[in-house]
Structure 1
Amino acid sequence: MVPSALIDVGWHAWVLHTVDYAEYCDRIGRFVHRVFCKGVRADRPYAWTHRNEAAVAPFLPASLAPALLWSFVQDGWHMLGFEYVPGRYPSLSPTSGDLDVIGDLVVTMAEALTPCPSAALHSIADRWGAAPGWAAVYAKLPTDLDPWARAHIGVLAMLERGAFLDGDTLVHSDLHPANMLTRDDRVSLLRFDGHLRCGGQAASAASYSTGVR
């Protein structure tokens, strides 16, 4: 993977100015061997996802995600640097041994990320509130609706709202394998830019369970 021109300049600046790099490592309290860098043009509509990631990262325990090392905007780019975490993408196959540790991750998130940090820029309702769930079915009440569903539609809509959309937990709305890394019987969140939002605790479990196949 070829780095962008901005990252290439920054990397070679550290190589050429090792004393400055050593002082920087002293300031952050550790020597950084490798980092994961990502950036986006700050004027792009989706640049808010980087701002959200930078805002919520300091609230994530080390057991859940790599540490945010820096966040800055320069020359029109918003750049983030994260601790390098080795590992592999987990498997969501029904017979995979990774399912248990991902389940543990979801439970840990619910415990460690409640209440939701006020720094989070969006909620689950912002993303899923308009989705055609039970509330949308309740509003239309189609004639071919299953009798059991018709009899319980009001309760289903209420449960859907309470379990997923309303809540005070920082949840992940896309627990896709490409957004996680597993190593040593533990899983870390790898990509959480626009996916970490305030909502009901069941939202993380729902986004994970839909990928099991």
Structure 2
Amino acid sequence: MIRTTSPAAGNANTALSVSRSRRASCASMPSWVARRPSEALIASSLNLPAGTLTGDGMYGPGRVHTLSAEPRVFAQNDRMRRDWAALPESAMMQIEERVGRSHVIPASDGDHAEIAATVAGADARVFVKAAVSEFGVRSLRYELLVGRGVDTPYSPAVVWDFEADGWLVVGFEHVDGVRADLSSASAHLDLLDLVLQELAKTRVPRDAPLFSPSARFGFEHPAMHGDTLVHTDLNPANVIVTPAGVRVVDWAMATKAAPWVELAQLVAWLIGSGHTPQQAENWLARHPAWDAAGPETLDHFASSNAAKWSAKARQSNAPWMRDLATWTGQWSAYRRGQSVTSAAGETELDG
């Protein structure tokens, strides 16, 4: 039998812990994980006392986060989430065979996946995504391809997948942590900076069928093309800070592009976290790819992205869509030399 627990109850009872098996597995991880930030930095990011990240235990405070749904920006409807009970019995039986007698904690973030929940059993704890609609299955199958075909050590591993009565069901490695705080004074920015450095060096295999920039964004520029793995949705809910390091979830829209595209796509999320457009650009300018893009290319991306989200927001009442329209619009206005006001209430004019 699989029991369902509300997200609030699940979060209250989920602990941030580093198990012996998890620590042991780090020894076999790729080299970039071995270069992960010091325990002191991670402890600071989690608001934990220094030195508390050795040994098993329970840590707090902080909002416990389980993997969210796929990037919201590509949901066909404002909300696609379905109740766990929508899964057919054949699928529930196969999940129980894999994790044992279980209880389910529905994901509290994201609207795109039809089913998205933590499944905790006697034998395992996994994050399950499932889809039955044509669009949902196509998106989840793509994320499955990325998870298995591209070397992303910071992404959750695919544990298993199966199909039952028209549903595609995928079990991902479960990640416990806190969603990143991307505000200007947050220590989490240092962790995000390391992720960006590693992504900029991650090349996509030539035969990997990832999205092109135009397919992902709906607009393009010759400078957007490249051979780098670009996540394209590093919003705070997809960057998870754990006691073992930072992880990046939801790779359903991974794209093959130039490395600066990741940085440009991040501007809106920094503005939404309280940065002014100038502060966001100054922070991103530490990465060589930012200057390599050039002002005219960034102008084109900013204006095209703002126009896209403005059009989408006019056709939807979804608050997150209106937010993205506001934030992308602020960046575009800043690059055109217009006065803008940040989410933190600061006004600036492009100098």
Q: Per the alignment, do residues 204 and 11 of structure 1 end up closer, same or farther by CA in structure 2, a change over 3 Å counting? A: same
Q: Taking structure 2 as the reference length, what is the TM-score of the superposition? A: 0.43
What is the 5 A alignment of 1:156-171?
A: 161-162=222-223, 165-171=224-230
Q: How many residues align?
A: 166
What is the 5 A alignment of 1:67-106?
A: 67-106=157-196
Distance, in Å, in 2 between the alignment partners of 1:161 and 1:83 is 36
In structure 2, give the amino acid aligned to 1:166. H
Give the conservation status (yes or no) of the 8 Å contact 1:38–1:81: yes
Residue 189 of structure 1 pairs with residue 248 of structure 2: yes
In structure 1, give the amino acid aligned to 2:179. Y
Distance, in Å, in 2 between the alignment partners of 1:207 and 1:184 is 27
Distance, in Å, in 2 between the alignment partners of 1:72 and 1:126 is 27
Aligned to 2:129: 38
State the structure with bigger RCO (CA 8 A, min sep 6), 1 or 2.
Answer: 1
For 1:85, what is the secondary structure of its paired residue? coil
In structure 2, give the amino acid aligned to 1:9. M
Q: Per the alignment, do residues 58 and 11 of structure 1 end up closer, same or farther by CA in structure 2, a change over 3 Å counting? A: closer
Report % sequence identity.
Answer: 26
Q: Deviations over 1:80-119 (max 9, x none)?
A: 11111111100111111101111110111121x3034633
Residue 206 of structure 1 pairs with residue 264 of structure 2: yes
Distance, in Å, in 1 between the alignment partners of 2:206 and 2:265 is 20
Distance, in Å, in 1 between the alignment partners of 2:269 and 2:204 is 26
Moved more, 176-185 or 92-101: 176-185
What are structure 1's unaligned runs of at least 5 residues? 17-30, 132-159
Distance, in Å, in 2 between the alignment partners of 1:184 and 1:95 is 20
In structure 2, give the amino acid aligned to 1:123. S
What is the 5 A alignment of 1:1-213?
A: 1=6, 3-4=84-85, 5-6=87-88, 8-14=92-98, 15=100, 33-41=124-132, 43-61=133-151, 63-111=153-201, 113-116=202-205, 118-130=207-219, 161-162=222-223, 165-184=224-243, 186-193=245-252, 195-212=253-270, 213=274
Distance, in Å, in 2 between the alignment partners of 1:72 and 1:11 is 9
Give the conservation status (yes or no) of the 8 Å contact 1:101–1:185: no
In structure 2, give the amino acid aligned to 1:187. V
CA RMSD of aligned residues (A): 2.5
Q: Per the alignment, do residues 48 and 119 of structure 1 end up closer, same or farther by CA in structure 2, a change over 3 Å counting? A: farther
Distance, in Å, in 2 between the alignment partners of 1:62 and 1:161 is 26
Distance, in Å, in 2 between the alignment partners of 1:81 and 1:117 is 27
Q: Per the alignment, do residues 177 and 184 of structure 1 end up closer, same or farther by CA in structure 2, a change over 3 Å counting? A: same
Aligned to 2:107: none
Runs (4 or more) in structure 1 with deviation over 6 Å come to: none
In structure 1, give the amino acid aligned to 2:197. V
Distance, in Å, in 2 between the alignment partners of 1:104 and 1:168 is 20
